[in-house]
Amino acid sequence: MLDLKNIRIVLIDTSHPGNIGAAARAMKNMGLDKLYLVAPQKYPHEQAVWRASNAVDVLDKAVVCETLDEALDGCQLVLGTSARDRSMPWPVMDPRQSAETVMSEPEEHQVAILFGREDRGMTNEELQRCNFHLQIPANPDYSSLNLGTAVQVVCYELRMAMLNRDGLKEAWDWENEWDVGPASADEMRYFLEHFEETLIELGVIIPSRPRQLMPRMKRLFMRSRMDKMEVSIMRGILSAAQKLIHKG
């Protein structure tokens, strides 16, 4: 089963450096140390160091990325936190369910848990990069949590799942029950870009009026957790379709 060292906490476009420090402290409290920062607005910063208290070592090792793609490189499972209901539902878990799912992954997998902006969370496009969404069941009349608090809740559940790992059942044993490992986040991104490109060439998607076809297709493929061979086969089919289109 997975170890905490294989879990990345990814903060996207964080505006207040103090929240980065608070997240680092929450992570160290629960034994996590892989912090990824996507386009932080103010970092490095003394407020981050001050709020981190004795977790400055987590800040020192933090990986600063320009794009979400960099932060997800090499990951097999991606979860995105969101307090907002979306117009199109996505598979949703609470922190406890999420932690059990994460800790049930094979030990060699890399997992990313995404947290969005303080004022508006994650964009729909970012959430569509996730296999599952994570929602903290807070008071519906006041459900917005401070970023550091949200990270603390999620990290606490991850630690509890680790401590109770003997009672967990592996969601899927990719190594022993499946012939090929799951596609990575990058492989899924390239496949979905290829899929959309082909649908545009076929005239199925009209760029000026895309509607919700691609978001629904992303939901289908992301929740199915395709393996590497399935992605390769699908891309071969797409390439063959593109050749026929260009011949015509």
In this prediction, the residues of the chain whose per-residue pLDDT falls under 50 are none
pTM, 2 dp: 0.88
Torsion sign (Cα): 24, 35, 174, 238: positive
CA distance linking residue 237 with residue 243, whole number of Å: 10
Domain boundaries, the chain: 4-167, 178-247
| CATH-assigned architecture of domain 178-247 | Orthogonal Bundle (1.10)
Name the fold adopted by 4-167: Alpha/beta knot (3.40.1280)
pLDDT in tens, 70-82: 999 999 999 999 8
Alpha helices in 132-212 (DSSP H): 147-163, 174-177, 185-202
Are domains 4-167 and 178-247 of this chain identical in fold?
Answer: no
pLDDT in tens, 110-169: 999 999 999 999 999 999 999 999 999 999 898 889 999 999 999 999 999 998 876 665
